[in-house]
Chain A
Amino acid sequence: MSSKKILGALAALAAAGLVAAPAASATPSVAGEAFALSAKGLINIDPLPQVNGKNGYDHKKVVEIPAKSVQVKALEAEAGKHNAKATVVNLSVDLGLDLLKELKLGGSQLLNAQVITAKCDKTGVSSSLVGAKLLGKPLDVAVPANTGIEVPGLAKVMLNEQVKNKNGTTTVNAISIKISELQKITVASATCAAGKDGGDGGTSTTKPSTSTSKPGTPTSTSPGSGTSTTTASSGGNGGVAPRPVPAPAQLDVTG
């Protein structure tokens, strides 16, 4: 693609109002919400799958993407009142070698990764990148919040991007890529109302702290702040298994 064409594409995008806004600018509800992948610009993918826990537990998984330049094995997102998680498996994003060369971004794929995850609950937020390469360069599995990478040329990349929203929620985006005004891509995004201690009748569950904790990021363990689990009682070690309390949720079963 020539420079003129890129400029043309840029102008067209700007005119169409497609220039990407930050992912967290949308006003999240107080419940958890998540999506696995979104793209705006030369590649367009509406947040997919998009879930929101305000009306009950929402969990979706898709294995097909409406964009030829993006390959993926699975996109999964789930959200409850107080938790959210997004997972992307075997991702590759290809803007086209010609365009990458034109933008002086090298001649590799823009992004590929084995597993990218973002998650949050009332105890905090985290994200991880396994087997991830940006323009052929390996990325660390876990990095401190808001680790920025300036790619010479036109790209800005934020890893483990954490944004506090106006309504008190926090969004974590595992990777956020912006190539000039041409392309915005967000991979694995989770939003939660984080850090409110005291619990609200949650069970005695405790926050997993081993899987995605990162150096320098506090993973507090707030007592009583369970997940969105609902049981009449926690059961307890050696007790009688409790009668479950139905959880508002949606699942398409086999009728």
Chain B
Amino acid sequence: MATTASSRTVLSALIGLVSLSLLTTGCSAEAPAQAAPAELGTAETAVLPDLNTFGKIENAPLDPAPAAKATTKVFKVTKELPVYDKPGGKPFGKLPTVQVGSPTWVPAIAEQGDWAQVLLPARPNGLAGWIHTPGATESATNPYTVTVNLAGYTLEIFKDGKSQGTHKVGIGKAEFPTPKGRHYLMASIEETKNTYSKYVLPLSAHSDSHETFGGGPGTVALHTWPTNEHIGKSTSDGCIRVTPETLTKLMDLPLGTVISIT
């Protein structure tokens, strides 16, 4: 009997261990989600490419659901921040604190514990990665979203899911189309050189047909044009041209506002 009881105990313990082992194995993909990543050394950080509008990341993770709704959370990067391919995964770039003079804000498309999956401002379009948020970010709630319907030449601003108005826009010509996808408002610029628009709102998006443009990295932006004759037409090299009245409304939107182009 003693032997049986002992066997049972051993068996139970064994089952327990196996269960625990399975549990551990089963969680191995998720467990690091709660853990802070190991701090990177000077060299490890230095070799990570800057995630800015001039950057291009090869073999990068992409937005898994470009048509889905993002969260309402945006993160301001307050300290140079590594970005990982998954929670607890490998770093593939770093977010600086400044993007062309504006503070770095990125929208969260998903969250897992202290990790947030965010859209990123470098190529390719749809680049997304995971950041470990404590210590290097500030979070805020952003009630705004924007949709752009290319076929309809319209841009619609939403607050808390309610339409705040629809605006006519101009878009990229057939050979240099405005890129579709889930992008975001990257910066707010008072232009110091180009004169076609006093203010320019660069997006995270890039032209897929212009690798570079005018010396820049082919960044797609929202801006005005000296006349409104391009509204409702496909005449730009990828940018979205809006009227001065529309731009005034867009300039109120927080950095990190998701701009879905369909």
A61 pairs with B217, CB closer than 8 A? yes
Give the CA-CA distance A198 to B34 in the complex, in Å: 37
Give the CA-CA distance A87 to B55 in the complex, in Å: 12
Q: List 9 A-B contacts (CB under 8 A).
A: A61-B54, A204-B138, A228-B101, A241-B256, A244-B187, A244-B251, A248-B190, A249-B191, A255-B239
Determine the chain A residues whose CB is within 8 A of the CB of B210 once the complex forms: 254
A152 within 8 A of B: no
Scan residues 193-240 of chain A and give those whose CB is less than 8 A from a CB of chain B.
203-214, 227-231, 234-240
B172-200 vs A: 1/0 string, CB under 8 Å? 10001000000000011111111010011
B64 within 8 A of A: no
B66 within 8 A of A: no
Give the CA-CA distance A151 to B24 in the complex, in Å: 56
Give the CA-CA distance A237 to B74 in the complex, in Å: 10
Give the CA-CA distance A131 to B46 in the complex, in Å: 11
Give the CA-CA distance A207 to B189 in the complex, in Å: 23
Scan residues 215-262 of chain B and give those whose CB is less than 8 A from a CB of chain A.
215-221, 223, 236-239, 251-257
A150 within 8 A of B: no
A254 pairs with B43, CB closer than 8 A? no
B50 within 8 A of A: yes
Give the CA-CA distance A247 to B101 in the complex, in Å: 6
A241 pairs with B78, CB closer than 8 A? no
Scan residues 65-101 of chain B and give those whose CB is less than 8 A from a CB of chain A.
74, 76, 78-80, 94, 97-98, 100-101
A76 within 8 A of B: yes
- The residue in chain A whose Cβ has the minimal distance to the Cβ of B185 is A244
Closest Cβ of chain A to B138, distance in Å, is: 5
A57 within 8 A of B: yes
Give the CA-CA distance A228 to B96 in the complex, in Å: 12
Determine the chain B residues whose CB is within 8 A of the CB of A87 once the complex forms: 50
B142 within 8 A of A: yes
Give the CA-CA distance A57 to B216 in the complex, in Å: 14
Determine the chain B residues whose CB is within 8 A of the CB of A61 once the complex forms: 54, 217
Give the CA-CA distance A89 to B56 in the complex, in Å: 13
B32 within 8 A of A: no
A236 pairs with B103, CB closer than 8 A? no
Which of the residues A80, A203, A242, A254 comes within 8 Å of B101, measured between beta carbons? A80
A242 pairs with B140, CB closer than 8 A? yes
Do most interface residues of chain B lie in helix, strand or loop, or is the interface mixed? loop
Q: Which 8 A-B pairs have the closest CB atoms?
A: A57-B101, A252-B216, A241-B254, A247-B101, A254-B238, A252-B214, A249-B101, A229-B103
Determine the chain A residues whose CB is within 8 A of the CB of B100 once the complex forms: 57, 59, 247, 249, 251
Give the CA-CA distance A243 to B218 in the complex, in Å: 25
Closest Cβ of chain B to A231, distance in Å, is: 6
Given contacts A206-B79, A211-B42, A240-B143, contact A253 B102 (CB under 8 A): no
Which of the residues A56, A203, A240 comes within 8 Å of B192, measured between beta carbons? A56
Which of the residues A141, A234, A240, A249 comes within 8 Å of B46, measured between beta carbons? A141
Closest Cβ of chain A to B252, distance in Å, is: 5
A213 pairs with B42, CB closer than 8 A? yes
A250 within 8 A of B: yes
Give the CA-CA distance A254 to B216 in the complex, in Å: 8
Which of the residues A56, A206, A228, A246 comes within 8 Å of B199, measured between beta carbons? A246
Determine the chain A residues whose CB is within 8 A of the CB of B142 once the complex forms: 240-241
Give the CA-CA distance A30 to B200 in the complex, in Å: 26
B97 pairs with A229, CB closer than 8 A? yes
B207 within 8 A of A: yes
A128 within 8 A of B: yes
Given contacts A204-B138, A235-B140, contact A242 B254 (CB under 8 A): yes
Given contacts A204-B138, A235-B140, contact A251 B254 (CB under 8 A): no
Determine the chain B residues whose CB is within 8 A of the CB of A236 once the complex forms: 138, 140
A255 pairs with B138, CB closer than 8 A? no
